[in-house]
Amino acid sequence: MERSIYKIKKAGSLNNLRLIKENLPDPASDELTIEVKAIGLNFADVFCIQGLYKAAPKENLIPGLEFSGVVIKKGSGVNEFNIGDKVIGITKFGAFATHINLNTNYLIKLPYDWSFEEGASFVVQALTAYYALKELGNIQNSQIVLIHSVAGGVGLYANRIAKKFNCTTIGTAGSSSKISYLKDEKIDHILVRDQDFLSNLNAALGNSKLDLILESLLGNYFKHTFKLLAPQGRVIVYGASNFATHTAFPNYFQLAFKFLTRPKIDTLRLIEQNRSVMGFNLIWLYEKKEYLRKLLEELIELNLPKPSIGETHSFKDLLYAIKKFQSGETVGKVVIKID
């Protein structure tokens, strides 16, 4: 079967990404062949294209972590899916394609009332938020949770999940223009990361302390918010958007400066203050098939609202969509639609 893919022969620049055709073999006995209908964009896609994602191949890479589509072929050992089933998939790269073969452990059925675009917007964001809050953060009822970049895909789901635990949520945004987009999300406090951010955060907390921080920036605010953690408080680091670039290829001098001036933690002080800092990369869950499936099933059982789609672009305009996504001006999920 012939398929179209976006492939990069050597990571380092978005300009190296090319749309080409190649043959896709028949699925293995435990795989399905999916006709891809929609693809979700993530910061990890940008980082791996630019060669900044350690887990990604540096050559002959097909980016993309999540998608939705229709089953068109099945391996001889597959019983739980049928031809024509609509599915959501998570893959360790390879989703920038019109067709894909994937092991059934990485697929779930698309909820009947969800669009393909919504399906392609769900897994990475919701799973990141869920794993960070529940598995690492050990979230408990009525805690106070600070969620950076709350207008993004992970941030939105982090707030929704925290609300399932009756937590007070404080969300941050890069600009006031995103606040109106969040009006229906039941966020207790929305703070813009401007010159008044820290004073506004202290006002929102009053005499209370933070129990959990979902950290996705790794910039100037880390040290200050860390000081506001309660004893037994936890910082969960799942991203580093401060290192993201708005250009086709990285500015290595700028990255070097940010790396050298990045926040640092005194491990002895962690003991003294009874606080924790944990980091994770969702891609490592990919090697734990059964555990990953269990988490996905728990997510479905939470009955969370549908993903929020910010923008939709065609497959042929994927490079433009990535550049728009890089700008930091988008809200919600940026999705690629394949007609």
Looking at residue 273, what DSSP letter applies? H
More confident residue, 243 or 165: 165
Query: Is pLDDT at 263 greater than 80 in this prediction?
Result: no
- Residue 150: its pLDDT value, please? 92
Residues 6+ apart with CB under 8 A from 178: 151, 331
pLDDT one-digit tens code per residue, 75-89: 999 999 999 999 999
Q: Which of 68-72, 205-209, 215-219 has the lowest mean pLDDT?
A: 215-219
Query: Is pLDDT at 253 greater than 70 in this prediction?
Result: no
- Residue 54: its pLDDT value, please? 78
- Residue 210: its pLDDT value, please? 98
Residue type, 217: L
Between helices 123-130 and 153-164, what is the axis angle to 10°? 50
pLDDT confidence band for 181 (50 / 70 / 90): confident
- Residue 252: its pLDDT value, please? 59
- Residue 24: its pLDDT value, please? 98
Two structure tokens written together for 287:
């090697």
- Residue 72: its pLDDT value, please? 98
pLDDT one-digit tens code per residue, 94-131: 999 999 999 998 999 999 999 999 999 999 989 999 99
Query: Is pLDDT at 186 greater than 80 in this prediction?
Result: yes
Mean pLDDT for all residues in the chain = 90
Can you tell me whether residue 298 is helix, strand or coil?
Answer: helix
Q: Which of 90-104, 183-197, 256-270, 281-295 has the lowest mean pLDDT?
A: 256-270
Q: Is the pTM of this model over 0.75?
A: yes
Q: Helical H runs in the chain?
A: 43-49, 116-119, 123-130, 153-164, 197-205, 222-226, 252-260, 267-273, 289-301, 318-326
pLDDT one-digit tens code per residue, 274-298: 899 998 888 888 888 888 888 988 8
pLDDT one-digit tens code per residue, 42-58: 988 988 898 878 788 88
pLDDT confidence band for 328 (50 / 70 / 90): confident
CA R_g for the chain: 20
pLDDT confidence band for 245 (50 / 70 / 90): low
Residue 151 CA, distance from chain mean position:
12
**How many angstroms separate the CA atoms of 236 and 259, rounded?**
19
Looking at residue 196, what DSSP letter applies? T
Between the alpha carbon of residue 248 and those of residues 15, 64, 325, the distances in Å are 6, 17, 12
Residue 16 CA, distance from chain mean position:
23
DSSP structure string for 145-163: EEETTTTSHHHHHHHHHHH
Residues 6+ apart with CB under 8 A from 69: 34, 35, 36, 37, 38, 86, 87, 89, 100, 116
**How many angstroms separate the CA atoms of 292 and 286, rounded?**
7
**How many angstroms separate the CA atoms of 126 and 129, rounded?**
5
- Residue 287: its pLDDT value, please? 84
Between the alpha carbon of residue 69 and those of residues 57, 60, 95, the distances in Å are 25, 24, 11
